Structure formats: C-alpha cells, structure tokens
Structure 1
Amino acid sequence: MTWNANNRSKPGEDGLHPTYCRLCEAQCGLLANVEKGKITKILPDRDHPASQGHLCIKGPGMVDVMYDQDRVTNPLKRNRVTGEFEPVDWDTALRDIAARLIQIIQANGADAIATYLGNPAAFSTLHIMYARMFLAKLGADKIFSPLHADTGAQFLAEELVYGSPAHHTFADLESCDFLIMIGANPMVSHFSMVTEPLALHKLNEIHARGGVVVIDPRRTETAKRFEHIAIRPDSDAWLLCAILNHIFAGGLANTEILRQRTDDWEQLRDALQPFSPEIASLRCGIDAASIRQLAERFAKARTSACYGRLGTCRGRFSTLTNLLIEYLNIACGRFGVPGGWVIGDVPFSALATKTPAHDEAQSRVSGLPSLMGFMPSGSIAAEIATPGKGQVRALFVDSGNPLHSYPDPEAAEAAFAKLDLLVSIDFYVNETGKLADYILPAPTFYERADLTLAFMANAPRPWVQFTPEVIPPLGEARLEADIYNEILGRMGLPRLFSAFATTDRPQPELMDIADQMLRRGPYGDQMGKNPDGLSIAKLRDWFPHGIRLAPGVNAQESWNRIQNERKRPQLWPDLLPKELARLLSDPKNDDETLLLFGRRSLGSLNTWMHNVERLVRGDRPTLLMHPDDAAPRNIADGDMVRVSSKTGSVLIEAEMSYEVVRGSACYPHGWGHDGGWRHANSLPGANFNVLASSDPRDWEQVSAVVHLDGIKITVSRAEGSAAMP
C-alpha cells in the first residue's frame, strides 16, 4: 500500500487516500486503501493532527454500508398500487418530482412543502445550509430534524445564557482537573457536541490530575472506568439545583465574577433555596452527603467543568437541566478560564444567516415554538394529517428516518402514506423510505469531498481538514445539493448558491462556497491577500492529513464571544422561575412504575447502521432491569416481557443487571426494523418510541423536546414466557 505524497491522486486511484470520518463530532482521521477502484481497507491516520491514529469500528464499518447489497445506488420509483420499487432514470424522476411540486404549490401554496434533515449527511459540508436554501427557493420554510429528540434543549439553554445557539460551550479538556459528566458516555459516543477524537485519552489524563465523575442511571462503559454516581432517570435537574444550593449556601461560589460579569445571580441564588440536598436526595436517589461532597470537589478543584449530553436533553426538564449546567460552571468561576468551561473560536466566516434558538414561529397543530428554525418534529405526522392552511402535502426526507425516530410510528406511517409526494434521499430504503414515491441515492462520506466546517468551533484542539472523495459515487448516487439544483432547474427557479456568484464562479458549487468561508475566515488567505492563510487548494496539496489551527482554545476569549446585548451571561431568563416552580410541584414517581431510559452501543450508533452484520454482531437489544425490580414481577433473565406505557406496549427480552439503578429500565433506541434492509429486519428487538407520547402536552413546552428518557412504564412477564437459553 502506498500513498501519493502530494495527495493529487484522483478519486478511485490505487493507494492510500487520507480522509476523515463523518459519523460523529470526533471526525477521526482515516486512511482509505484503494485497489482497482475499490476501498479494500480502512486504517487509522497516525499523521492526523488530532486523532493521531485513533480509530473506532464505525469508520471501517461504513465501507460495509457502502458495498451493502441492500444499498440503493440508482433512483427508484414506488408503484403506489403494488408498493414495489422499480428502477427509474434520473431525468424521469426529477422531471416528475418538479412537476408534482409545481402542482402542489399552485393548489396549496409553498407552505405545503417541508423537509426532514437527518443523519448521516448531517456531518457533511454545509448540508443544513443548502437544504434550507432549497426550501427558500421554493418559497417554503418548514423544516424538521432529530433536534427535538437530541440537542434542542442544549441549544436553547446556550442562547438564553449567552445570546446565541451557534457558539457552543464545552470543557477545556486539555487542562481540566475535575470533570463531571451527566448523561454522557464518551467511550461509546465520543464527546458528543465536542470535537475531540481522543476521548478516552483525555479522560484518563483528567482522572489522573483530579477526577472524572459520571452521573448516569446506568453504570455505563465510561462509568466503569472512572467514578460513577447512580441517579434516577430524568432527575438531573434536582441534583444540579441541590449542588448549586450548597455552593451558594456554603460560600463556595465565585461572587466576584458573579458580581462583575453576570446579571441577576442573586435571583438565581435565592430561587434555589428550597432545593436542599436532603430534598433533592428524595428525587434523584443520591444521598445528601454525596451531593455536598460532589459540590465541594467541583468548587474547590484547581480547574473543573460540568458537561452534559444526550441524557440531559430528552427528559421533562431538559432546558432547565442544561441551564443549570451552564450556571454551575459560571457560579464557580469556571467559565472563560483555562481548564474550565469555554466557547470555542469559529474558524470560518459566517456566510449563513444566524438562526435564533427560540423562534416566534409556532407549529400550527401543537402551538409550540420552533427551535433554530426547525419545527417541532414530534408533530410531523400531525402536520401532514391535519387539514387547513399549511398542511404538509410534500415532504423531502434527506438522510433520515422520522418514522423510526419519533413517538407513535403507527400514526406517522398512516400520515406519511397520505402525502401527495414523499421523496427520500438516502442510501437505504428505510422504514420511512418504504412509503416514498422516490428513493434518490446519495453518496456515503467516502464518496464525497468535504471540509471540516460544521464542528470545528467545538474543538478543544482546533484543526481543519479537507478531503477529496476517495472513490467516485457508486452507481448513480448524487450529492444532495446537486439533486436540489436539478429539481430547481426543472422548475425554472434559480440554483442554490446563486447569491454567491462571482465573475470567476458564475454558478458556484458546494465546495466553492466552503472554500470562500474558509478563505474569508480568520485562518484563511483572504482571497489571496494573505499568502500564509489557508484555502481548500492549500489543504489538499500541502496538508492532506489536516492542520492544527491553534495549540488550544483561548479560554479568556470566551467572554468576548458572548452574543447577547449586554455581553454578559444571563442567569435569570423569563422562563426560569416557571420551570423551577414546575420542578418543585412535580409529583414523585410511584413504586409500581419504572422509568425507561435509552442507551447506545459503539457499533450501532444510528439505526441505519443495523444492516451491517459486523457493526451489530453481539449487539442484544434487551431491557436491562435491576434484579430487585424483576423479582417481585416474577421476571427472570431471558424472559420475554411486555413493556407498556400510557401510549402503547412492546414485547422484548429482559436481562438482569446490577448496572441500572433500582426503579428504572434501560433499552436501546432504533430497533424493530421493517424497512427495505434484509439483515436489519432479521434482528430481534422493538422500537421503544411506541412507548413515547406524541401528545404535545407531554413534551417540554419551552423547547418542544419530546419525552424519551424517564418514560413511566409497567413491565410484566409475558404469558407463556420462558427464559431464553
């Protein structure tokens, strides 16, 4: 195996091609070996400036996705009578889609068209930007995404405190001495929302300097390696309130910083007085002494940070929980200091419009606000099924599977079947795509050029990398941006990026825009005026493995990156007193019900990866139950059990485990397949979104985040069940 040192080899040429993974924020460097036009092996890139040879199973596993026999590589059209898909040429498909869109707009208006943006394309260059632009060209603006089942509450909290959801806060891992992680499992998911490939290495260093504490209802893979504090599901807000209560009451807060650089901290302090560690202990299951000890360790450490992730974003108090994480870091003087809580640099010019997290636009069916321009995605089925102005009649699902991602998939399936036009841009016929009129094939990340634009502002060790496509797209797969442009052209509408046209680029393409963003940014060549600056051409020819932009984050600059009018963290937003009052009045869970929460595994991080045997090999979608909860229900290890909530029930296998806290049960998301993928369909398991409520009144009202962690369930041994062998 050889690598062309100047990296000017063409896509598909034999040899090693430097590239990087686009399946999570870590974006690890990879070397793809090509032989006779086919990728034969994926190796770690030891010359990558950040991952330095780190590699997980998913990057190589993506090659199996690329060459999967079930992968869609040619356009398909569904026969609405038989339900079967038939091959169709691109021109026929695009002409028909364009004609149908024109008819729908003429009959119903442009607000009858919507898109759903998901993963895997989410980590590709400017994906969200050009998908929004496509809708705008049509005169529409209704976009859905996984946001309301993932990061929505975190974005909203960041805007409320700092004035912008575009500048994310994260821990300065390089010099942090004590790290609290709530609802995060970096050994499986890396540092989600933090661009750091060497998660375990960084955690080991922090642990050696002071400590890493993992707060989770399950003794996760990460918790087993460090310190674990078990907590009841959906009770993080109680714990954080009590920690802050003790910090204020014990004189552990950095009052000098609070007085000089924040607003309304006294109101926050006073409002937290009812949340004593003793009171919180009754709700979160952590004894009061441990809460006080944790608070004191955090406040007295030389440097420290508190980081929350998915487990803090899918409960009934998600926004409050994420606000409290920000307040804890700020109150102890950890914001904007080395080893603490920081806002990263944005190394690219911001050509895209900044969208506020909390919008005035509201869903016509739920009345809940949109979030970062995305409509409440739990309402997508209702938006289709509910008649009236704005009823969705045409939907583009761009690399997503909403029928498998949000509550009440049965109602969603019935609604999607009634659309006048459903287009899936994907490389599988997933559960949603099974109902589509057209499946339009998209490339995997090995078949597309990309620039690390999306998450570089979240990197404790900032770097940038450009990768050409390793091989040309298989079959007739096309980039999403190219598909959108072809549809617009057939409708007689301007192309994407036409506003960025220049004399040199009268019809700029995707990477032209990315190049402009890089070149006009703080590290760019300023369109040729700074010979030491960067461009895509320079990255391609001189730095194929990527290049570090700075030795680390300038922590002090975090204060200058606050975007609100006063340029100070706001500690008393209007919704806070209402959310604290709601928490105080929340009834305690009874002893008959258990609280369901989710988990992930390293190989099957996303549902569309379940069709690859080596990624799900040994992966058992079982309901983890504490033996003390199973015994009074006459449930044994391997029994089939019926799990029920107020919205539905599923039949799944139980597994006894002392790793989950009493009073809870744990099940992985995304199983129970019934799409156009053979191996995934053959796997056991069920989709636990059946147990989640699609009633907007059951979601968090301030963010429209759906309730997926802490669902109240009953579990009973299925009649006739016997323990599995």
Structure 2
Amino acid sequence: MVVIDPRRTRTVEGADRWLAIRPGTDPLLLAAMVTALAQDGSIEPGEHVGKHLTGVTEVVAACAPFTPESVAVATGIPADDTRRLARDLAAAPSGSIYGRIGTTTAGMAGAAFGTATSWLIDVINIVTGNLDRPGGAMFPTPVAGSANTRGRRGSGSGFSTGRGATVVSGYPEVMGEYPAGAMAEEITHAGDERMRALITIAGNPVLSTPNSVQLDAALTQLDFMVSVDIYLNETTRHADVILPPPSQLQRSHYDLALLQFAVRNVANYSEPVLARSDGQPDEWEILARLGLIAAGMGLEVEPAAVDEVGITAMVHASVADSNSPIHGRNVTEIMAALGGQAGPERLLDFMLQTGPFGAAFGRNPGGASLDALRANPHGLDFGPLQPRVPEVLRTPSGAVELAHPVLLAELARLRDALPAAATAAASGQLSLVGRRDLRSNNSWMHNIEVLVKGAPRCTLHVHPVDAGRLGLQTGGLARVTSRVGEVQVTVEITEAVREGVVSMPHGWGHDMSGTRLTVAARRAGVNSNVLTDEAVVDPLSGTAVLNGVPVTVASC
C-alpha cells in the first residue's frame, strides 16, 4: 500500500510507502502517471471494460505534456518515484487508486482541480485494467437502489450541470447545489435577487465554510433564518427560530447515502432506542412542515399529506417503468402492502422492495424489505461486489466516455497552472492543509467531554526544518496569515507533515459570543476557515478549497 499525502496520517503507519506530495498537486502526479504508463506501453484497460470504452487515445495525448520529470518540482515527488508508482500499479495482478476529501478540496497555485483529480483517478484505474474487476475499483449495488440501478440499464441521459447560476459570480448549479463559498456574497451583494432567508439543518457553516468571518457577518443581514438543530452554536446563534429535532436515539436509521459507497452489498436498519415524547414531531415532520410553509401552503396541510403525495408518485412511476420489478402491478395493491403509516420507514420499505435485491412485494420471497431488516437487526449481506459494466452505465452512448470535452479542457487549464505551482514549491511557499483525528471529525464533536479530553488537538503542525527557519517552538504561538484572514495558534513541531506544509484541524473556534456550547467553549481552539479563501473553488463542481491554502507563518 502506498499513501500519497502531505501528512503522515494514521493510514501511513500501516503503509509500505509514503509519498509526501505537495498539497493540491495530485492532478499533476496523476497525469504524469498516465504518461509514464503510455511510455512503458502499459495502457491496458482490459477486454471486460475496453469494449465499452471510448476516448483513451485522446486522454493519453492530452496528458503527454505532463511527464514525471516536468511535474517533479511542483509535486515534490521525484520522477523515479512517479515512474515506479505507475509501473508497480501496472504490474500488480489487481489494485486501485482511491482518493476522497483530501483530493477534491485541495488547491494549487490559487486554482482548484478537484473534479479533474477525481477524473484522473478514474482514468488510471481504467487504463491499468483495474476498473470493475475484483481487487480493483468496483461499483456497489445498493440494496435500496440508486440512480444506476433504476431505469434503463446500460445507457441514459448522462450528467449535466448549469441549470442555473449564482447571481454574483455566476457559479453553475451542480446536482441541485451551489458553492457554499458563494453564500456570503449571495446574501450581501446580489441586489434584488439576494438570499433573504436561510434554513440550516444540523450544520455549522460559520465554522465549516471558506472565509467564515465573511459568512458570519453576512448572516446578520438575512431577513429570516431557521435552524433545525440540537445546538445553539456559532451558526444557529443567528437564527430567529431554532427547532430542535429528536435525538439520534429517538430516530430510526438507514445509511442510504453511505451504503452507495460500501465495499460489500449490505443493508442495516436500526430502530429508535428511545420513544419520542407525546406530541414531539419527528425530524421529517419538522422539515415537511417547513417545506409546506415555504410553498405558501400555511399550517393547514399536515406533513403526512406531503408524504402521501410523495409515496404515491413513487409507486405510480415504478409500476409504469418497464425496468421496474413491479412493472404493471396495481397501484392500490402496492399502496395497501406499504401500509398507511407515513414517514421515512414507508419510503425506505418501498425502495428496498423495488431495489436490486428487493422482495418486490411478494414476487421475490426472501428479498430485501423493511420487515426483513427488522427481523435481522445485525443486517443482511447480499454478497461481494460484482462487475457491473455495462449495465451500470447511464451515458448517451452506452460507453464509458473517458474523453469528455469539459474534462479534457481541465488538462489545458492544469498545464497553464504548472509553472506557478513549480515556482511556489521552489520559493518555499508554505501551504496549509486541514486534518481530522479519531475523536474530532466535525465541530459538533467538540461539545462532548469524552471526545475532547486529553492533550489539546487544535495546534499548528510544523515540520522541524520550517520551525527552525521561522523561529517557532512547540507550545509557542504562531501568526498564520492568508489572503483573507489571520489567526494565532499554538505550535506543535512534528515530522507528521512534510517540509513546506503546515496543518490545522477544522471545526474549532468555539470562542464566539451567543453560543451555548459549554464543553466546547472550554477548549475553543482556532477556526482554520478564517484562512480559507471563498474565491477559490473548483469551477466544475463548485467544491471549496480547504487544503493547499497559501499562507505565511511567523512567531508571535
């Protein structure tokens, strides 16, 4: 196992090699690996995927300007290491490259390439023959279904963005969302089209979004704000109304999203541990009520009516779909089988029963259903991942369209950014990255005593060479400055970061007035997103840059 990361993470401890890359330069390394594979004659997608694949030649040609030698200064990875990495992957019986938050939220030389990085990871998995085969990168078959298990198999309308745009900066819509980094300017500078009201749900964007000082100030200009949250935190203190949902122990749970990324086709459902109080609304009822009010329907319509409309529409669509396991069935029959209890359980049961392993309301006895999960509280295992190409595809051509013009254009933009990235590396420009640890993933965890006790975790990790050059000492204070902000933070000198990189954990900064986070306030820490830049976002996805932020550091 090889870990490519500017930090010596816990994963590195179990790895065979650690390549300490400079933050945000991952797409340069990946493009250079494609070139190295091509130069070695190792572009071998394999017949299982190759016959359903287009665009390999175009992608290889577009990556040609990026060689292991040309990107070495910018990435901090010697050319020989890049070539070895490519050759080892090509020679392995199976393998895969995996990247997640660290690669999609990283910046390089004032630019963001999160989508391009994710695409290049797919490119390498494909050209080494590691897509959709055991031991490689495979697709789960979610038990409750997903966009690539429903509808016509093997082709579809593809993926598109830009059904709208933000007013101020014109960021395109992506999957129904706009960049969080644009929220402040949409409140303060969008004129008559400005954002006037806001609903937050168990979130704390004042601590979790770029240039959070700017957003904190912008929230005071809203006409109205509602928060569905159990905490009065740095964000919800701006709300006119806070609606507390039931606790996690009072709600049922099914990992609808996370099981779509599972390494095995499993399903688990948890019943509520504790009952809700009489008259206490469930979270879905709170959200449905807010939706009704926002739609101008007032308080007269009950949340259950919204649920009824939703489930009825789902049943009608499914019985009309020739690819559905209940195609042609009677709507009244299916509705009766689902029962009359409104809420997420009924929706979940329908999704399970019509999913790829579903009971299909009697057609597949022993298949997945909510009753089956309730009878198996430790979950149901539907087996290991299986090859899914081509049925998993939903592209217009019915093929893996590797050389999409939008993505090829990102390589041209990446080529233009390479000189600046190399200059920044050669000049010793410091780069800030975030970090998480086992007991501190997000801001809400800081208000739980058992998770925050012990040595302080909100420190600035600095490599010994950088610390010596800057005159920093462990336990002392450092002033960290970016384009948008400045903080003072306690220093921790460590070889857990590469030279030229400093690291702060995210989600801290619990020293704001107006909150009621007693435990968190005692260990307030420093908000790293005072330093992140809201103006630097990935142009294709709108993802913020939270890693690879150019900073200067000085002793206080």
Q: Same fold by TM (over 0.5)?
A: yes
SS of alignment partner, residue 93 of structure 2:
coil
Partner residue, 2:413: 582
Question: Residue by residue, what CA displacement relative to the aligned partner does 1:184-223 show, whole Å, maximum 9, x if unpaired?
Answer: xxxxxxxxxxxxxxxxxxxxxxxxxxxx111100111110
- Unmatched tracts of structure 1, length 5 or more: 1-211, 719-725
8 Å CA contact 1:356–1:372 kept in 2: the answer is no
Q: 1:625 to 1:481 in 2, by over 3 A?
A: same
* 2:350 corresponds to 1:516: yes
Select 1:654's aligned residue among 470, 491, 501. Answer: 491
1:611 shift after superposition:
0.5
Q: Which residues in structure 2 correspond to 1:184-583 (within 5 Å)? A: 212-226=1-15, 227-254=17-44, 257=47, 260-315=51-106, 316-349=112-145, 356=159, 358-473=161-276, 478-487=281-290, 488=292, 490-493=298-301, 495-501=306-312, 504=336, 505=339, 508-540=342-374, 542-550=375-383, 552-555=384-387, 557-583=388-414
- Compute the RMSD of aligned alpha carbons: 2.3
Question: Residue by residue, what CA displacement relative to the aligned partner does 1:87-134 show, whole Å, maximum 9, x if unpaired?
Answer: xxxxxxxxxxxxxxxxxxxxxxxxxxxxxxxxxxxxxxxxxxxxxxxx
1:577 shift after superposition:
3.3
* 2:459 corresponds to 1:622: yes
> 1: CA distance between counterparts of 2:545 and 2:54?
31
Q: Which residues in structure 2 correspond to 1:100-115 (within 5 Å)? A: none
Report runs of 4+ in structure 1 exceeding 4 Å deviation.
255-259, 349-357, 474-477
SS of alignment partner, residue 296 of structure 1:
helix
> 2: CA distance between counterparts of 1:707 and 1:280?
21
8 Å CA contact 2:27–2:120 kept in 1: the answer is yes
Partner residue, 2:321: none
SS of alignment partner, residue 304 of structure 1:
coil
Q: 1:294 to 1:349 in 2, by over 3 A?
A: closer
> 2: CA distance between counterparts of 1:459 and 1:308?
15
SS of alignment partner, residue 457 of structure 1:
helix
Q: Letter of the 1:341 partner, please give it.
A: A
Q: 1:350 to 1:668 in 2, by over 3 A?
A: closer
The structure in which a higher percent of residues are strand is 1
SS of alignment partner, residue 527 of structure 1:
helix
Partner residue, 1:665: 502
8 Å CA contact 1:523–1:534 kept in 2: the answer is yes
SS of alignment partner, residue 279 of structure 1:
coil
8 Å CA contact 1:500–1:508 kept in 2: the answer is no
> 2: CA distance between counterparts of 1:622 and 1:295?
36
8 Å CA contact 2:463–2:493 kept in 1: the answer is yes
Partner residue, 1:129: none
8 Å CA contact 1:497–1:513 kept in 2: the answer is no
Partner residue, 2:523: 683
Partner residue, 2:540: 702
Q: 1:507 to 1:256 in 2, by over 3 A?
A: closer
1:261 shift after superposition:
2.9
Q: Percent identity among equivalent residues?
A: 33
8 Å CA contact 2:145–2:351 kept in 1: the answer is yes
> 1: CA distance between counterparts of 2:278 and 2:9?
41
1:607 shift after superposition:
0.7
Question: Residue by residue, what CA displacement relative to the aligned partner does 1:12-67 show, whole Å, maximum 9, x if unpaired?
Answer: xxxxxxxxxxxxxxxxxxxxxxxxxxxxxxxxxxxxxxxxxxxxxxxxxxxxxxxx
8 Å CA contact 2:104–2:114 kept in 1: the answer is yes
> 2: CA distance between counterparts of 1:683 and 1:476?
37
SS of alignment partner, residue 504 of structure 2:
strand
1:559 shift after superposition:
2.9
8 Å CA contact 1:230–1:286 kept in 2: the answer is yes
Q: 1:663 to 1:410 in 2, by over 3 A?
A: same
Q: Letter of the 1:526 partner, please give it.
A: A
8 Å CA contact 2:45–2:130 kept in 1: the answer is no
> 2: CA distance between counterparts of 1:228 and 1:584?
26
1:355 shift after superposition:
10
SS of alignment partner, residue 51 of structure 2:
helix
Partner residue, 2:319: none
Q: 1:598 to 1:280 in 2, by over 3 A?
A: same
Q: Letter of the 2:521 partner, please give it.
A: N
Partner residue, 2:322: none
1:327 shift after superposition:
0.1
Question: Residue by residue, what CA displacement relative to the aligned partner does 1:362-411 show, whole Å, maximum 9, x if unpaired?
Answer: 11222011221112211112222234343222211011111111122222
Q: Letter of the 1:645 partner, please give it.
A: S
Higher alpha-carbon deviation: 650-659 or 559-568: 559-568
* More contact order relative to length (CA 8 Å, sep ≥ 6): 2
> 1: CA distance between counterparts of 2:279 and 2:509?
30
Higher alpha-carbon deviation: 640-649 or 223-232: 223-232
Q: 1:255 to 1:446 in 2, by over 3 A?
A: closer
Q: Which residues in structure 2 correspond to 1:127-138 (within 5 Å)? A: none
> 1: CA distance between counterparts of 2:263 and 2:38?
29
What TM-score do the two structures reach when normalised by structure 1?
Answer: 0.66
1:462 shift after superposition:
1.4
Partner residue, 1:97: none
1:508 shift after superposition:
3.1
Question: Residue by residue, what CA displacement relative to the aligned partner does 1:587-628 show, whole Å, maximum 9, x if unpaired?
Answer: 131525300001101111111010111112234211111111
1:578 shift after superposition:
2.6
1:521 shift after superposition:
1.8
> 1: CA distance between counterparts of 2:437 and 2:278?
31
> 2: CA distance between counterparts of 1:713 and 1:664?
9
> 2: CA distance between counterparts of 1:262 and 1:283?
32
> 2: CA distance between counterparts of 1:676 and 1:339?
48
Q: Letter of the 1:245 partner, please give it.
A: T
Higher alpha-carbon deviation: 512-521 or 295-304: 512-521
SS of alignment partner, residue 219 of structure 1:
coil
Equivalent residues, number:
502
Select 1:602's aligned residue among 435, 438, 442. Answer: 438
Partner residue, 1:713: 551
8 Å CA contact 2:140–2:264 kept in 1: the answer is no
SS of alignment partner, residue 389 of structure 2:
helix
> 1: CA distance between counterparts of 2:129 and 2:201?
42
1:506 shift after superposition:
5.9
What TM-score do the two structures reach when normalised by structure 2?
Answer: 0.85
Q: 1:559 to 1:369 in 2, by over 3 A?
A: same
Partner residue, 1:37: none
Partner residue, 2:472: 635
Q: Letter of the 1:624 partner, please give it.
A: H
Q: Letter of the 1:512 partner, please give it.
A: R
